[in-house]
Amino acid sequence: MPVFVATGKQLRRAISCDDGLTWKNDVSVDDAWPANERYRCFSGNFALPDGGSGSTDCDHNAYSSTALAYGNGVFLQTAGWGTPGSFFRSTDGVTWSQAASGPNVQDVMVGPNRWLLATRDPRKSDDFGLTWTQSPSIPLSMNGNTIYNVRGGAYGGGTYVVSAQDGANTDWQISRDEGETWQRPTLQGGTMADCGAAHPAFGNGIFVGITWCQAQTAAIACRSADNGQTWTRSTIGTDAVESRPLWTGSQFMAWSNGKVHRSTDGITWTSTPTQRRVNGSLSGSVLVGAVAVSAQGTLVAVRGGWQTWYEQQRFYRSTDGILWDELPESAYRKGHPVIQIVWGLARKSAVCP
């Protein structure tokens, strides 16, 4: 069954089995907590029943969802930042089991035979996320400085790509042998540090990563069409891109505040204003945050930006990435920040029969 799955802070999970029209089974880890121990993310410290206080920093705890991936009928969610990581597996997007624990992860690189976790000391799985073992470390460094903070990764065409950044130090590495060995790619006219750190997307034999270049005051795209070995850099525009790029099957798309940026080759980009439609009437533009596309071309997203959750949270649906229909409030539950959305084929369940 085709479904969209969304994950977020406090191990939030939700599923849509009607092509993004409604969202069901929206649950979070703190749903079962006593009411006086639940909190709103990023709203300051709060009082605990024992007289102490707790932090509402939902980024740095065991329940911070960091990555979501799909492959071969399996959804994999990783969680934990600043604490040991946990990896959860599901075949229906509703029932989840913890497959393993280990490092903090920012992406899952899903190959046809091997899955790799995007982290300096990766774990690998050759059985679609059931079991995980140690994989060789990725030699990420710059100017002799070791880099530990992997920011993103992707798989495509037999190549695994990771990008990492600690402060001013940035590095990219690629592997063509399922993570056994790694090498640094090259950027024409510069170094890979000029690409910043990104969550790459892959489509039609091309990798694309998008970052903000402060020196140019512009969003830039770095692109490779030779298995990640050499990259070129181009400018998208002067708007900071909020979403991760995705491949729709015919083009790359990414969104900034009020605009969609599109490219078929990762080099030449066109920017178009977005529109938001509420109850059939146009109502300004939209800022797209977490976003995914189905095999049939339906796009679903949540509202991007800071402090745009709880009462301010919105879910959207589009067929072209330009005009977005805001779902009625009865179609979803407002809650903790949503960080990732993926599309995949799930086993039927009581939620999605």
Which tens digit of pLDDT belongs to each residue from 36-79? 778 899 988 766 666 666 778 899 999 999 999 999 999 999 99
Query: Rounded CA gap, 133 and 148, in Å?
Result: 19
pLDDT at 306 over 80: yes
Least confident interval from 19-23, 51-55, 254-258: 51-55
Distance CA 343, CA 282 (A): 27
Euclidean distance between CA atoms 207 and 222, whole angstroms = 8
What's the average model confidence in pLDDT over 152-158? 97
In whole angstroms, give the CA distance from residue 205 to residue 208: 10
pLDDT for res 52: 65
pLDDT (average), residues 323-347: 98
Closest CA to 222 of 249, 252, 248: 252
**Does 17 score more than 80 pLDDT?**
yes
User: Do the bridges between strand 323-326 and strand 275-278 make them parallel or antiparallel, or are there none, so unpaired?
Assistant: parallel
On whether residue 317 sits in a domain, the answer given is no
d(CA 209, CA 232): 11
**Pairwise CA distance, residues 194 & 186, whole Å:** 10
> What local confidence, expressed as pLDDT, does residue 190 receive?
87
Q: Does residue 304 lie within any of the structural domains?
A: no
Q: Is residue 71 part of a domain?
A: yes
DSSP code per residue over 13-31: EEEESSTTS--EEEE-GGG
Q: Cα 238 vs. chain centroid, distance in angstroms?
A: 22
The predicted pLDDT at position 48 comes to 63
Instruction: Confirm whether 303 is domain-assigned.
Output: no
Residues 131-154 have a mean pLDDT of 95
Instruction: pLDDT band for 34, please (50, 70, 90 cuts).
Output: confident
For the whole model, what pTM was predicted? Answer: 0.95
Residue 322 lies inside a defined structural domain of this protein: no
Query: How many domains in the chain?
Result: 1
Q: 9 in a domain, yes or no?
A: yes
Q: Residue 191 — very low, low, confident or very high, per pLDDT cuts 50/70/90?
A: confident
Which range marks the domain in which residue 134 is found?
2-42+54-245+334-345
In a domain, 218, yes or no: yes
Model confidence at 214, in pLDDT bands (50, 70, 90)?
Answer: confident
Tell me the per-residue pLDDT of 227-242, one tens digit each, with 9 for 90 and over. 999 999 999 999 999 9
Q: Quick one: pLDDT band at residue 266, thresholds 50, 70, 90?
A: very high
Q: Is residue 204 part of a domain?
A: yes
| 112-132 tens-digit pLDDT | 999 999 999 999 999 999 999
Residue 44: what pLDDT?
Answer: 81
In one-letter notation, the amino acid at residue 25 is: N
Q: What is the number of alpha carbons within 13 Å of residue 167 lying toward its C-beta?
A: 7
| CATH number for position 115 | 2.120.10.10
